[in-house]
Chains A and B, each alone.
Chain A
Amino acid sequence: MSTALRRLRRRLRRRGIGLLHVYVGLLLLFLFLPLAVLVLFSFSASGQLRFPITGLALRWYQEVFSNSGVIDGILASLGVAAVTGAIVATVGTLAAVAVNRYRFRGSAVVSGMILAPAALPGLVIGIALLNFFGDIHLTLSLLTVMIGHVIYTLPYFYLVLSARLRRFDPMLEEVATDMGAGPLQRFRRVTAPLIAPAIVASAFVVLALSWDEFQITFFTIGNQSTLPLVIWSRARLSIDPSVNAIGTLMVAGSLLVVIFTRRFIAESYS
């Protein structure tokens, strides 16, 4: 047994594939196997979630798209993500620029405060917000969901944007200042175009995080559902491939966002 393995290993080695390659391949397989299974079963003609798959069909997608609850969920998720993204991008950019560009005492504290929500599980943020909304008599709705998403995604936006800002050479701005540009002009002509791709890339991270968010949303949701919540309540009814279909739609949505992000990642590295 071991000689066969050794021979295999040697053969792979010759092609430059070492143990590490095998491991990475297996791990990536592990990461994608559940998703592959999910997508696969969403096309299963029968209602069974077991192998073997007897036939392929689109019926679950038809069922899903004709269901207003799912459509509402998609729209709600999109709306919340969009507004969250806009707010976080604004607030977060100002904060990241402030900390990055200006050396002032307490900037470390500010950074710490911004990152603090990431140090808590969604559970605690969720119950704190639910309790808070109860105390101030704010009715649960997509607005309260959005508030939760803003708090949740702000640290990540800040992290990603700060990392990119740190790579920027301040020299370009110095040049502008030396050439007589005032702060506003400097911002408009030099800073903004430079950091715009970074902002967009970070904002897409926010979109993806918000699209997928469940643990905080669970507490702050009112009588409308976002897509993950729709999946949750659907799966309570019955696990059939329609849940897989919705799940596949979620994956597709995330895929789109990540692809767009990639474009901006690539650009900002140039």
Chain B
Amino acid sequence: MHGEESIRHDLELLDRALTRRRLLRGGLAIGGGALALPLLGACGSSGSAAATQSSGGSIAGTIDFISYVAYDLKFPLMNKWRSSHGINLKSTYISDQSTVTAKLTSPAGRGLYNLSSYSAQYAPFYKKLGILTPLDMSKIPNYANSMPFFKSGKIWSEYWNFDGHQWGVPFTWGYDSINYNAAKIKPITKTSDFLLPELKNKFAVADDMLGMILMSAQSLGIANPRGLFTKSQLNQIVAFLTKMKKNARTVASGFGDIVNLYASGEIVANISGFPGMQVLVAQKGITTIRSALPEEGSLSYCDTYFIPAGGNDTASVYAFINECLTPPMQAQEAGYLQAGVTTVNGAAAVAAPDRVYVPYNDVTSLFKKAPLFGLPFNPPAGYASFTDWTTAWESVKAS
């Protein structure tokens, strides 16, 4: 698109569905610091007055975290911040958002965790399940630095601030892609390529229900912003995915597994993937992994911190969330999570090598190709519900 546009302007255009199933599992935690980001690229600090503010009072305590690997931000800068404030971190890692759902809805899980994350469009569903708590935004003053998309507008009022309260703080976003080892095969450009005999037994399918269903829908041409499919369309998707799964070497339950599979030479490609896979596998010595947005289109995601109902020690959690929205931390997060950041001054601070994960300068066309899809938790009659999607994906895996 253009050259250097003001970041704020670009991201104001972030108004398509930001739905994205993100399987950010493995590998990021290890050697995240190896990326050695310069602390502040600071190419022009963007406007918003509020710089880093910290909440007063005693914030020492323990964060009991449950979500994807790396979302607990265990890079050196944050680790130092935590230890200097007496905040311990205990993490439980999951490989799928549904595990979070299961753990938090079970009465046996209540009170175990005080920090988790949801993919943005899960918000109304989680609210209905009663596992969100209304946030005291006075404890997260840095939220004011968020890009307008993340603190105002239609999406904001659907996924983050509704019923008179704020329920979650978006902190990272990106899109699903295809990954392949450029040293071993020629570039893969389409989702449908994974059905071809040339790739038989050579790639891994991620156990990522949303990513796989929506990428297939894109490939089949039936994707729509609200994520509504008729039963027969869902069957089409299942048939497509079953063919793909049978063509695959294995269904990997986590991105860490996929990294291992690349490293041990078992696979030369994976779907669904993400741009950061290149860095993850590079840490294992293979620098030839590439990422591509499929021609047929893909999906975007935005993950959001929330405090599970029943969580204790929330002072520490609030302080943590607030801190992760400061420019130095956001700059680190861009590289650590290999995704986009959500604050204006944070985005300005992101170092050049880490700007590759999301097209800060070309956001509009990204969201044309990779929308943030709505999820059918309450579909109109005749359309498949989220539960149907889950059954569909289980049937693909069991086929």
Residues of A within 8 A of B (CB): 47-50, 69, 130, 133-135, 137-141, 144, 222-225, 233, 235-240
Q: Are B257 and A144 in contact (CB under 8 A)?
A: no
Q: Which residues of A contact B25 (CB under 8 A)?
A: 236-237
Q: Are A139 and B109 in contact (CB under 8 A)?
A: yes
Contact of B110 among A49, A50, A139, A233 (CB under 8 A): A139
Cα distance, A237 to B257, chains bound together (Å): 7
Residue B153 interfacial (CB < 8 Å): no
Cα distance, A104 to B257, chains bound together (Å): 55
Q: 7 smallest A-B Cβ distances: which pairs? A: A133-B108, A236-B256, A134-B108, A137-B107, A237-B26, A237-B256, A239-B260
Q: Which residues of B contact A130 (CB under 8 A)?
A: 106, 108
Besides A139-B108, A140-B109, 9 more A-B contacts (Cβ < 8 Å) are: A135-B107, A137-B110, A140-B112, A222-B109, A223-B66, A235-B256, A236-B25, A236-B69, A237-B256
Q: Which residues 305-338 in B have Cβ within 8 Å of A in the complex?
A: none
Assuming the contacts A49-B264, A133-B108, A223-B113, asked whether A236 and B93 have C-beta atoms less than 8 A apart, the reply is yes
Residue B183 interfacial (CB < 8 Å): no
Q: Are B111 and A224 in contact (CB under 8 A)?
A: no
Residue B170 interfacial (CB < 8 Å): no
Q: How many A-B residue pairs have CB under 8 A?
A: 68
Q: Are A237 and B69 in contact (CB under 8 A)?
A: yes
Q: Are A137 and B108 in contact (CB under 8 A)?
A: yes
Q: Which residues 101-129 in B have Cβ within 8 Å of A in the complex?
A: 106-113
Assuming the contacts A223-B64, A223-B92, asked whether A138 and B108 have C-beta atoms less than 8 A apart, the reply is yes
Residue count of chain B within 8 Å CB distance of chain A: 31
Nearest CB on B from A140, distance (A): 5
Q: 1/0 per position for B85-102, CB-CB distance to A under 8 A?
A: 000001111010000000
Nearest CB on A from B58, distance (A): 22
Nearest CB on A from B85, distance (A): 17
Cα distance, A139 to B310, chains bound together (Å): 11
Nearest CB on A from B154, distance (A): 36
Residues of B within 8 A of A (CB): 25-27, 29-30, 64, 66, 69, 90-93, 95, 106-113, 253-254, 256-257, 259-260, 263-264, 284-285
**Would you list 8 pairs from A and B whose C-beta atoms are within 8 A, ordered by A residue?**
A50-B264, A130-B106, A140-B109, A223-B64, A223-B66, A233-B93, A236-B256, A237-B26
Q: Which residues of A contact B263 (CB under 8 A)?
A: 239
Cα distance, A139 to B109, chains bound together (Å): 6
Q: Which residues of B contact A240 (CB under 8 A)?
A: 30
Assuming the contacts A130-B108, A139-B108, A140-B109, asked whether A236 and B92 have C-beta atoms less than 8 A apart, the reply is no
Nearest CB on A from B166, distance (A): 25
Q: Are B259 and A238 in contact (CB under 8 A)?
A: yes
Nearest CB on B from A71, distance (A): 13
Cα distance, A121 to B113, chains bound together (Å): 29
Nearest B residue to A132, CB-CB = B108
Cα distance, A139 to B64, chains bound together (Å): 14
Q: Are A222 and B112 in contact (CB under 8 A)?
A: yes
Q: Are B90 and A238 in contact (CB under 8 A)?
A: no
Nearest A residue to B69, CB-CB = A237
Cα distance, A49 to B259, chains bound together (Å): 13
Cα distance, A104 to B282, chains bound together (Å): 69
Cα distance, A240 to B30, chains bound together (Å): 10
Assuming the contacts A236-B69, A236-B254, A238-B284, asked whether A134 and B106 have C-beta atoms less than 8 A apart, the reply is yes
Cα distance, A212 to B30, chains bound together (Å): 26
Cα distance, A240 to B254, chains bound together (Å): 16
Cα distance, A178 to B90, chains bound together (Å): 62
Q: Which residues of B contact A144 (CB under 8 A)?
A: 108
Nearest CB on A from B200, distance (A): 24
Nearest A residue to B283, CB-CB = A238
Cα distance, A123 to B104, chains bound together (Å): 21
Nearest CB on B from A227, distance (A): 15
Q: Are B108 and A237 in contact (CB under 8 A)?
A: no
Q: Which residues of B contact A135 (CB under 8 A)?
A: 107
Nearest B residue to A232, CB-CB = B93
Q: Are B30 and A238 in contact (CB under 8 A)?
A: yes
Q: Which residues of B contact A141 (CB under 8 A)?
A: 112
Q: Are B30 and A237 in contact (CB under 8 A)?
A: yes
Nearest CB on A from B86, distance (A): 15
Q: Which residues of A contact B106 (CB under 8 A)?
A: 130, 134
Q: Which residues of A contact B285 (CB under 8 A)?
A: 47-48
Q: Which residues of A contact B112 (CB under 8 A)?
A: 139-141, 222-223
Contact of B257 among A140, A224, A236 (CB under 8 A): A236
Cα distance, A50 to B264, chains bound together (Å): 8
Contact of A236 among B95, B109, B264 (CB under 8 A): B95
Nearest B residue to A46, CB-CB = B285
Q: Which residues of B contact A48 (CB under 8 A)?
A: 285
Query: Considering residues A47, A50, A139, A240, which has the most beta carbons from chain B within 10 angstroms of its beta carbon?
Result: A139
